[in-house]
Structure 1
């Protein structure tokens, strides 16, 4: 009885720590994005040049994701967390100091460093979350990603409040960087040391790594997370603008539309665990994915913004569990770090690189017409979701 109680307390403490990690990840990114107009003013560049400056962060994140699986397999997930958070904080401080020096190159370099830290830290917390989920026997990653969404909402609020009160962007960035890094350093030792490390069999011989690149299952999981991540990223970048450009409505209405979609994502992530625990990952992904396709089509075809709001809610709910559930599926079995890193790379490649490319199609076709492509990718994810069933059920 006492052992069971001790394990329960350990699970809870680890879950709280992971919730904090996901939350601060959301805070840092959103508080920065809200103040991009200020960033542009500091370094005195055009919007196009700012886009290239920001792209350095995506390059850093994707580069880091390619090597993070090996890092976790060798050093463990908790070390990936503390290293990732530390490098992320250093990059953010470099960016802040570069704003003082009005240096676009410095901001880009800091973004590259931040991206490197973000990638390895993200894989670390997802591997930790997936392992705790398996030990707990109930879904946890959806709620953890819900914490990220809450952090993003909080970060947007912090950034907006800072704008209203004329609070220094430089001080804001340095403060958040120090808090993020400090949280990791003060808590990471409370996580298990062995999580994510390559399994060691009797005699001390390391088991061979699964050839994840050639695995049909990992490929399909990667394509599934790519489809839903592209639809999520596309909504973040282009949904509000489509309300202004295609529905011909004001920015306030556009903001309401985006807020409805974001709120639907948060609610689905915190409540979707019950759906997964009762009916399984495949049912949850396919049911919500179909709802997402319907929602996108409603946004495209709706004669009024009020129906579009319903569509936006379905869109948000439809993509909300894509990241956590496909990652959870990738973590089935032993030696999870390489598989989780591979699937995560698919997701972030779509989330970070896809939406800017969609902008070119939106320019040529119109944003609402471009959304048909997002509906197609979500439909593809519904098909690939079949590979998310537990390995033990085969």
Structure 2
């Protein structure tokens, strides 16, 4: 019996790792082609910012109901279905012939990715509980591997002048198959049970020797709000790296289309390294010191890189941002999924809803700001926001419990 449980848990870890990798591939499949799409449609920074609003609208709509959907269908089924939908959304994105079509395509992509994100993180929390030790940073590391591969493939396709519709259609087919086959080993619905309160976790309330779940859920609102703000501060920068780094390098610093994709690739490489080693680092030093040190590295690195006004320095700045922000998402989601009396999917959906406003809503705002003061100054917004994590980091103190 024990051997069977260990084997089931092992298969689930492989499956959820593949789900995270697929999510990264899906979200970043098109980012290196943004300059070509922008140029093909004849869009300025402001119009491109409007187009990018489609994704956050879709995410907000999906995340609002994600907790209920996962509660009804389970995190495994929801992860698979949303992943396939996200893959298929790449096809109309590549075929978009005007601003309206681009907005609708991004709305569909955002909704699918938002729902998949909540479901796969809830599954990750369940697998982490089974192992009894931190694994969320490693799971998010596989997501970063996916974004890195997508960035490199996209840069290569752009350099080889592969048509955008062909590139994204091929990616859609491959990724849909990966999601269907890779997610077969996920844990069933029994893994989505409400986390048991722990008297060592601040916020758990007791009555007559038993924990009051209503009181625990109520006391969990404030920690969830703080965790959401931390996610927002970090994800604005992540969204900016994905959507504007290539544009900045190509249009502000005059690089070629192949080099322009290296800014996001550098960020993705550093984030991958940081997350793949993050579980051990957080276990040794604790989430609060790690988040504080990382946020300082991210803010200083990106700020100095922008101030230099040189392609090499800019790529280095994007890279340091990725390294410093690497553990924010896994630590934040782990904390949100383990708040006593709050279902993992419900906690994660609330934090994800706020965080994704930064990840997907930040780039359009940066586009609007760039229209007025230039892209260089607009990219200082994530520098300021990520620096705020130094103050907010204590909210993650119970991560992983």
Matching residue of 2:141: 146
CA gap 1:45/1:318 in 2 versus in 1, 3 angstroms:
same
Aligned residues: 381
2:74 to 73, 76, 79: 76
Specify every segment of 5 or more residues in structure 1 that has no aligned partner in the other structure, as ranges. Answer: 202-206
Q: Tell me what 2:123 maps to.
A: 128
Q: What RMSD over aligned residues (CA atoms) do the two structures have, in Å?
A: 3.5
Q: Aligned residue for 2:199?
A: none
* Whole-Å separation in 1 of the counterparts to 2:370 and 2:51: 22
Distance 2:380 2:300 in 1: 11
Deviates more, 1:150-159 or 1:191-200: 191-200
Q: Deviations over 1:12-37 (max 9, x none)?
A: 32222122222222223333233345
Query: Are 2:353 and 1:355 equivalent residues in the alignment?
Result: no
Aligned to 1:278: 284
Rounded Cα–Cα distance in structure 2 between residues aligned with 1:237 and 1:317:
18
The CA deviation at 1:228 is 1.2
Return the structure number with greater relative CO, CA threshold 8 A, min gap 6. Answer: 2
Which residue number in structure 2 is paired with residue 22 of structure 1?
Answer: 20
Deviations 1:51-76 (A, max 9, x none): 54443233212210111111112221
- More moved, 258-267 vs 282-291: 258-267
Between 1:342-351 and 1:165-174, the stretch displaced more is 165-174
Instruction: Give, in whole Å, the separation in 1 of the partners of 2:396 and 2:157.
Output: 42
CA gap 1:109/1:323 in 2 versus in 1, 3 angstroms = same
Separation in 2, partners of 1:211, 1:355: 33
| TM-score of the aligned structures, taking structure 2 as reference length | 0.80
1:226 to 223, 226, 232: 232
- Give secondary structure in 2 for the equivalent of 1:390: coil
1:341 aligns with 2:338: no
Q: Is the 8 Å Cα contact of residues 128 and 195 (structure 1) preserved in structure 2?
A: no
Distance apart, 1:350 and its partner CA: 0.6
Residues 1-394 of structure 1: matches in 2 within 5 Å?
A: 3=2, 5-36=3-34, 39=37, 44=41, 46-47=43-44, 49=47, 51-95=49-93, 99=96, 102=97, 105-163=100-158, 167=162, 169-194=164-189, 197=192, 199=194, 215-239=221-245, 250=255, 258-302=264-308, 311-332=317-338, 333=340, 335-390=343-398
**Residues in 1 aligned to 2:37 and 2:310: alpha-carbon distance in whole angstroms:** 36
Q: Answer yes or no: is the 8 Å Cα contact 2:76–2:188 preserved in 1.
A: yes
Deviation at 1:167, TM superposition (A): 4.6
Residues 156, 379 of structure 1: CA spacing in aligned structure 2 closer, same or farther, 3 A cutoff?
Answer: closer
Q: Structure 1 residues 195 and 357, CA, compared in 2 at 3 Å: closer, same or farther?
A: farther
The offset of 1:49, in angstroms, is 4.9
Q: Secondary structure at the match of 1:320?
A: coil
Q: Is the 8 A contact 1:22 1:148 kept in 2?
A: yes
- State the 1:199 CA deviation: 3.7
Deviates further, 218-227 or 299-308: 299-308
Instruction: Give 3-state SS (helix, strand or coil) of 1:34's partner.
Output: helix
Following the alignment from structure 2 to structure 1, what is the Cα–Cα distance between the partners of residues 370 and 73?
43
Q: Deviations over 1:166-205 (max 9, x none)?
A: 555444434433333333333444222226646499xxxx
Structure 1 pair 116/289, CA: closer, same or farther in 2 (3 Å)?
same
Give the 3-state SS of the residue equivalent to 1:35 in structure 2.
Answer: helix
Q: Which moved more, 1:373-382 or 1:317-326?
A: 373-382
Distance 2:349 2:26 in 1: 22
Counterpart Cα distance in 2 of 1:71 and 1:187: 21
Q: Indicate the residue corresponding to 1:204 in structure 2.
A: none
1:374 and 1:233 mapped to 2: Cα distance?
A: 9
Per-residue deviation at 1:254? Answer: 6.0
Contact 1:82–1:181 (CA under 8 A) maintained in structure 2: no
CA pair 179-253 structure 1, distance change in 2 beyond 3 A: closer
Which moves more between the two structures, 226-235 or 51-60?
51-60
How far 1:364 moved relative to its partner? 4.3
Give the distance between the partners of 2:83 and 2:141, measured in 1 at CA.
Answer: 19
